[in-house]
Every structure is written in structure tokens, then in C-alpha cells.
Amino acid sequence: MSIKNQAAVVGVGATPYFKRGRSFPETELSMACSAILMALEDAGLTIKDLDGFAIYSYSCDPAEVASVLGVPEVRFAASLTSGGGGCAGALGLAAAAIHGGMANVCVSLMTLQQLHKRLGGSEIDGVLAYATMSEGGSPYGGGGGLPPSAAFSANAGLLSPGHSFSVLTQRHMYEYGTTREHFAEIAISQRANAIRRPTALQTQPLTKDEYFAARMISDPLCLFDYTQETDGAVAVITVSADRAKDLRQPPAYILASANGGTGRWGPAIFRYFQAPDEEFASSGHRPVAKRLFEMAGVTPADVDVALLYDHFSPLVLMQLEDYGFCPIGEGGPFVAEGNIRWPTGTIPVNTHGGNLSEAYIIGMTHVREAVEQIRGTAVNQVEGAEIALVTGGPAALPVSGTLLARSAS
């Protein structure tokens, strides 16, 4: 028994995307509510039908949203732990809730306003958040101020996700001969996809000269290897496969979903970097990918389009390896050969432009694009796309992957 093809994504809603802070005077709450209502409308459902919240990274407080919107009864409210690594896995959580009979109509969402916070680690009011971040994800916190482990990382100078992934990337270059040319190809190809989309915040092509002239933020990553800092909200609605057949949109069946990772990957990045050597220069997705394809009963060759979480361009390359689109260590040459280009590549990647060039809503833009690809309505449509891969992370465990399919056969 598994969730394979038991549920489908039937509705998508999104606010416009904004540059950091520009969504004001909207709030994270108001944008979440807007996206939810649009997603329900898209599906042909109403707030009266909504009864589940299957989220990640504690993206909203279901108690607050349900109260504000007047949801008649909440029957399921759960979040995958940790951060953006859970975005794709939230669909699996929704499918599990529905298949398990705990809820009928689940929303998964992210809402983000970087006005009083900056996820990139830049100081706000003189505070470097990542330098002194506490352990775990409990809203009750540690209660005792800083944990003893904080003193082992706070003064190291690694202050942000970007710094962490620079360290990971440097090791990949060392072990496999990966180069900045390879990262440039990812940034440039995604920009080419983004500028065809009216939703994208980046509107001009990116040339290789511009890429190499950009300032270095944290070697080996330059400005264009980093995600944008943006605001907005995206929500999607999941129902049972049976119910999906009668709704407004063609279903995007949840063929398979998996989340997690090797225990010793744990919170590896950001703080201690204690992952085993064989997994260090990776996206952390290998065990998740294995379970994902096993559940689906398909192989990477069956995937038509890949929406790979791209907070930093090299992690796209590492996910291509970890999901088996190319052998471990060969992600660089693989992208250099044009394999990720839309529409000509063997596996078009981030056809929406991704975090790098469309917008960064902590992975939900990738989920939105995966659904549009399966519906056949994407701006940069992969012709005849039957199966789409969408991923969340690399980040602290869990990372996640989901396969969406046009048919449930």
C-alpha cells in the first residue's frame, strides 16, 4: 500500500511575485489567504470544502488562516519539519492525509514577505540571524537562550545559506572538476526560460559575459548563482484521485512522493557539516530519489521535465546527479552539453525560471510549474509532458521530491 496515484493536485493559486519587501502593505497572512482562495476557485471548490492543511516549514498558522477565512472544520493540520526542503514533500503529506481518510481537501502553501526578515542572512536591525540560530524547529523554542552548540559555529564566519552552499560547492568542484562555466549554464538557461513568463521578476536575458563580470558573493558563487530575494504566496489544492476527476482542471496525479534523507545529513549544512564524505558534495537527495522512483515504478528516463529547487545554481547540478539524470560527479558536463535547456534538452529543468530568475517563494513556484506542465498550460510547455519531477531542498533534513503525472494508469 502506498499513496501512489491516490491523490491529485487540482487547484493552483498565487499572488503576484514582488521584489523583497514590495508586497507591503499585504502581509504573509493576507497573501496566504488570497492564494488559498484562488487555488480553490481554480479547482472549482470553495472554502466550505477545505478541511486540511498539509504544509512545510510551518509556512502559515492553520489556526489563524482557518479562522480568518471561516473554514467550517479543520480535520488535518500538519507540517513537514525544517525549511524549504519540504515543499515537494508537502504534496505527499496531503496525499497521505487524504488516502488515510483524515481529510478530503488539503491545501499546501508558502507565503513570504522579506520586509522584517531576510532569509539570505543579511543583518536586520544589526542581528545576524544565522550566526546564533537555535536548534530545532519547535515554536516553543529552547526556552533557555542559546544552546551550548551555538558557540561551535557562531564565530566561524559562515553566516548564511549561501555561505554554506558555497562550501558544499567548493568540495564538488574539488572532487569532480566542476567549474563555474557549468553554473553559468544553469543560470543562463533558467533566465532564458524566465524572460518568456509574465510572472518572472527577471526580464532580461543573461549573457555569459555578464555572468562572469558579476561580483562574487562567496566564492565560488557569484551574484547570479544566488536566488533572488522576493515576496509572494503560492497555494495548491490536493484531493483524492476519484474526486479529482469531477473538478474543473485536469488532475495532476501524485504519482509518488518522498521526504527525508540520511540521518547524518541531519542539520548538516548551515552549522556543522558532519555529513559522511561520500555524501558531502551532494544535494542530500540520493535516498529520497531512490524511494521516490521505487514508489512510482518509473526511472529518471521517464521524467519529462524537472523542477529542481534552485536557491543556488550548483545545487541544481547536484540534484541532477542525485536523481539519476546523470552519473554522480558528471553534472557539470551534463549541463554543458545542453541537456537542461528548454525545449531542446533531454531533461528541461526549471522551465519557469526557478528561484534564480522567476521568483523565490521557497519552492512553491516549482510546484506551480509542475502542475502547469502536467496540465499542458505552461508558458514554456514541454510538449507531451506526462511526468514532472519537483523537489525541495537541499537543506536540513527532510529534503523531498514528488512526481506528478498526467494519467493515473
Residues tagged active-site:
309, 360
Candidate list 128, 133, 247, 328; residue touching another protein; CB under 8 A = 128
User: If binding means CB under 8 A, how many residues of this protein chain bind another protein?
Assistant: 48
For the bound state, the minimum distance from the C-beta of residue 169 to another protein, rounded and expressed in Å, comes to 8
Asked if 116 interacts with another protein (CB under 8 A), we say no
Residue 147 binding another protein, by CB under 8 A: yes
Cα 316 from Cα 175, distance rounded (Å): 17
Query: Smaller CB distance to another protein: residue 29 or 167?
Result: 167
User: Site mask, another protein, residues 163-202, x = CB under 8 A?
Assistant: x--xxx-xx--x----------------------------
Q: Which is nearer to another protein, 153 or 189 (CB)?
A: 153
- 17, 97 Cβ separation under 8 angstroms: no
Is residue 157 a contact residue for another protein (CB under 8 A)? yes
Nine cell digits for residue 316: 541544481
Among 149, 203, 207, 407, binds another protein (CB under 8 A): 149
Spatial distance between the Cα atoms of 85 and 80, rounded to a whole number of angstroms: 9
27 touches 233 (CB < 8 A) = no
Query: Binding another protein by CB under 8 A: which of 145, 198, 209, 299?
Result: 145
Q: Contacting another protein (CB under 8 A), which of 108, 111, 193, 218?
A: 218
| Sign of the alpha-carbon dihedral angle for 44, 400, 169, 177 | negative
Q: How many CA atoms lie within 13 A of 15 on its CB side?
A: 28
156 is a site residue for another protein (CB under 8 A): yes
Exposure of 33 in the CB half-sphere (CA atoms within 13 A):
13
409 CB burial (10 A radius; 0-12, 13-18, 19+): exposed
Residue placing its CB nearer to another protein in the complex, 134 or 381: 134
Least distance between another protein and beta carbon 351 (Å): 30
Cell of 309: 529547487
Measured from the Cβ of residue 207, the count of other Cβ atoms closer than 10 Å reads 12
Smallest distance, Å, CB 123 to another protein? 4
> Residue 30 interacts with another protein (CB under 8 A)?
no
Q: Interface with another protein includes 79 (CB under 8 A)?
A: no
Angle 189-88-267 from CA coordinates, rounded to 5°: 95
List beta partners, residue 400: 259, 392
Nearer to another protein, 13 or 162 (CB): 162
Nearer to another protein, 238 or 283 (CB): 283
The whole-angstrom separation of Cα 307 and Cα 392 is 9
What is each CA distance from 104 to 59, 74, 124, 233, in whole angstroms?
20, 10, 41, 22
CB 292 to another protein: min, Å = 26
Query: Which residues bind to another protein, rule: CB under 8 A?
Result: 120-123, 126, 128, 131-132, 145-160, 163, 166-168, 170-171, 174, 215-221, 263-264, 271-277, 280
